[in-house]
Amino acid sequence: MFMRLESNPGTMDGTGAETAFGTLANGTRLAILEALYDALRSHDGPGQPGVPYTELRERVGVKDSGKFNYHLSELTDGFVVKRDGGYVLRQTGRTAVQIVLRSFDVDDPGFGPTRVDADCPRCGGGVTVQYGQGHLTTRCVDCPGLLAATGLPDGTISRLPFPPAGAATRDPTALLDPAHRRLEQQCRSMTDGVCPRCGGETTARLLVCGDHEPEGVCRECGTTLPAVAELGCLTCGHERLAPPAFARTDTRAVWEAVTTVLLDDAHAWDRFETTARWSQTLTRTDSTRVVVAPPTGTRLVIDDQLAVTREE
């Protein structure tokens, strides 16, 4: 059975987060952060030009100087830095705007099952996408898909977090690739040991189901894949699951095998679909390795730490 990693938050006890959220729980303060963010949008990092006090107050639109000064002082040092030229955002302030204002302040563009031009990696059947509560769910219309868990609809192939701000600007049928490209990029970062969410240390391992049921979704592991790649952050608990080869498309062996099959610079969904299809027939060589056999004559051996070697 696939086991989940436990996070190790170290000395974090939540007091810092409580203080931060308390500071942000005010419309004027959020407006200050958003005004700075918009003014400094093209200046991320050292060398940001400061926004003068008068300009900042005009952007926010607060006429009461006492009220404005109070709320600005509450943000200074924690989220905002005062310089000779004015005020700039700290990285914490920029992150706060991106998370709070660009996610929570955007209407969830929810939509029901919508057919897309894609094939199920398990049976080759039709695929739909649907969006809600910040997640894009990909489903097969003909088979049980790849995943089964409480809350997942029948036929689920993937369920991926995707910010409402990004979903709202795209047609439903255009979300399939960016959502899986985002998963692919997260896998690459996490196999390199860096959490894309918090920067913490990550682990990467191969999980092989010890008693996998070949028909339907396995009751032991909850997937139709004999093995999956599990990537987890030891600090914030961020976790990703993916077909083993998809988690390592950053390696030359996997990339060449995928591109040889697809014959062009395919989309991330194509790489996901292809590697998930390979994973349906993984060969287990022992308790710590599996063999992926693309239809190219190349055998890819993936070990328990997701290292990839190629056998001709």
- What pLDDT is stored for residue 281 in this prediction? 82
- What pLDDT is stored for residue 46 in this prediction? 58
Q: What are the structural domains, with CATH classification, of the chain? A: 15-104 (1.10.10.10)
- What pLDDT is stored for residue 3 in this prediction? 38
DSSP three-state, residue 66: helix
Q: What are the structure tokens assigned to 264, written together?
A: 């062009």
How far is Cα 285 from Cα 223, in angstroms, rounded to an integer? 20
Q: Is 47 exposed, middle or buried (0-12, 13-18, 19+ CB in 10 A)?
A: exposed
- Nearest-10 crossing angle of helices 27-39, 15-24: 90
pLDDT in tens, 211-232: 888 888 888 888 999 999 999 9
User: Do residues 75 and 100 make contact, with C-beta atoms less than 8 angstroms apart?
Assistant: no
Residues 6 or more apart whose CB falls under 8 angstroms from that of 77 comprise none
How far is Cα 228 from Cα 67, in angstroms, rounded to an integer? 54
- What pLDDT is stored for residue 9 in this prediction? 45
The backbone torsions φ and ψ at residue 19, rounded to the nearest 5 degrees and listed phi first, read -65, -45
- Residue ranges of the chain with per-residue pLDDT less than 50: 1-12
How far is Cα 208 from Cα 287, in angstroms, rounded to an integer? 7
- What pLDDT is stored for residue 15 in this prediction? 60
